[in-house]
Amino acid sequence: MTWVTAEEALAELGTKPQTLYANVSRGRIRAKADPADPRRSLYQQSDVKRLAERHAGRRKSETVAAEAISWGDPVLTSAISTIAAGRLLYRGQDAAELSAHATLEETALLLWNAESFTCVPSRAPEPASPSIQAALLALAGRVSADLPSLGRARPALQMEACSVLSTVADALAPGPAGRPLHHRLASCWGRPEAADCLRRALVVLADHELNASTFAVRVTVSTGAALSAAVLSGLATLTGPLHGSAWRSVDALAEAASNAGAEQAIRRLLLGGGKPVAFGHPLYPDGDVRANVLLSSFEIPPVFRDVQQAGEEMVGDPVNVDFALAAMTAAFDLPEEAPIIIFALARTAGWLAHAMEQIESGHLIRPRARYIGPSPGEP
């Protein structure tokens, strides 16, 4: 992310300061305090440029659509969650506040707009240990047998959503049915002391608006595919290093910091043209609230604390939830794959909420490509 001063933003927009401030208050331009001078603000360059082009009338419809797919304007309506003024909201309720007391099961009820939740045993045998591979295989085994989602009423879909979540839970957090999922996860890892922190993580990670994996879920289910197929799409998307597997880069940075010191490790990364994925989030210019929730619930290991302090000063952005998950894994000595297991188990609840909402919309998601290849007869 690139940030510009008020003077640079005004020059790009060609407007008065009052107009700039009005666009910030309406959420059209993201702003944050200048680390070098807290009395001044910096403004997100891509937001400023997008608004300037819109006002200049230079944007064609295909440009609007292309930008909307890539960190642009909203592309569909949803009543499930949003990020507004630095807060993550689930159907209007603050997710950070919910994490103080709620479980993932209770959060699923909220996201699904449902009245009851029954985590029934799945048909698949429990794996020897929690793993993303086990969840992928369990979901794939259901896809050909489950009914299509099209034409089915919400009560039937909610019952199936419970079943799909149970399938994922049995693969990622094996344990007795009816026991809260955060306790099942802590128990199978032999870390009962981590249970409350896991509960908080599951709640704040349950949904996050229209991210890449959620969009994949909605595209899949918009064809009428089964809920299990939609969640399988989301889980496959989550495994990417720019999404649910970003914790690997955080671990690599922590390891480098252990060997060379945090400042030197971050300096090497920046000199190589990279930006540490542990810092910043486009939707949280003032800091990822999910990271704040998690980092306040355990003692951060020294090497992660060093990385946080050096990185926030050198990069200029606060740490994000990927950093928090990696730090939590180290703090409780959880298995290496714990961050993505926590992420996947939590996000399954949100994926199912979006899948049911998409089914009710009755719309097939089918964008068009803007062709840039050769014309007929060209070599």
Q: What are the tens digits of pLDDT across the range 155-169?
A: 999 999 999 999 999
User: Is residue 281 among the annotated active site residues?
Assistant: yes
Those residues with Cβ within 8 angstroms of residue 35's Cβ, 6 or more apart along the chain or in another chain: 313, 316
Among candidate residues 250, 256, 269, the one with its CA nearest the CA of residue 326: 250
Residue 170 annotated to the active site:
no
Q: What is the pLDDT of residue 66?
A: 58
Return the closest-CA partner of residue 149 out of 96, 218, 102: 218
313 close to 276: Cβ distance less than 8 angstroms: no
Which residue, 89, 31, 24, is CA-closest to 290?
Answer: 89
Distance CA 229, CA 193 (A): 35
Q: Which residues of 193-204 are buried (b: 16+ CB within 10 A; e: fewer)?
A: ebbebbbbbbbb
Q: Where are the domains of the chain?
A: 3-69, 99-371
d(CA 370, CA 358): 25
Residue 274's pLDDT is 79
How many Cβ atoms sit within 10 Å of the Cβ of residue 336?
Answer: 11
Distances (CA, A) of 133 to 130, 299, 302: 9, 30, 32
Residue 322: active-site member = yes
- Catalytic pick among 183, 208, 281, 354: 281
Task: Pick out the chain residues at pLDDT < 50.
Answer: 58-59
Q: Is 247 helix (H, G, I), strand (E, B) or coil?
A: helix
Domain 99-371 has CATH 1.10.580: yes
Class of domain 3-69: mainly alpha
Look at residues 211, 231, 196 and name the one whose alpha carbon lies nearest to residue 80.
Answer: 211
Closest-CA residue to 228 (of 153, 132, 137): 137
Tens digits of residue pLDDT in 92-104: 999 999 999 999 9
Residue tagged active-site, from 47, 288, 317, 322: 322
- Dihedrals phi, psi of 51, to nearest 5 degrees: -70, -35
Q: According to the model, what pLDDT value does residue 21 have?
A: 85
Backbone torsions φ then ψ of 46, nearest 5 degrees: -65, -35
From 182, 183, 208, 243, the catalytic residue: 243
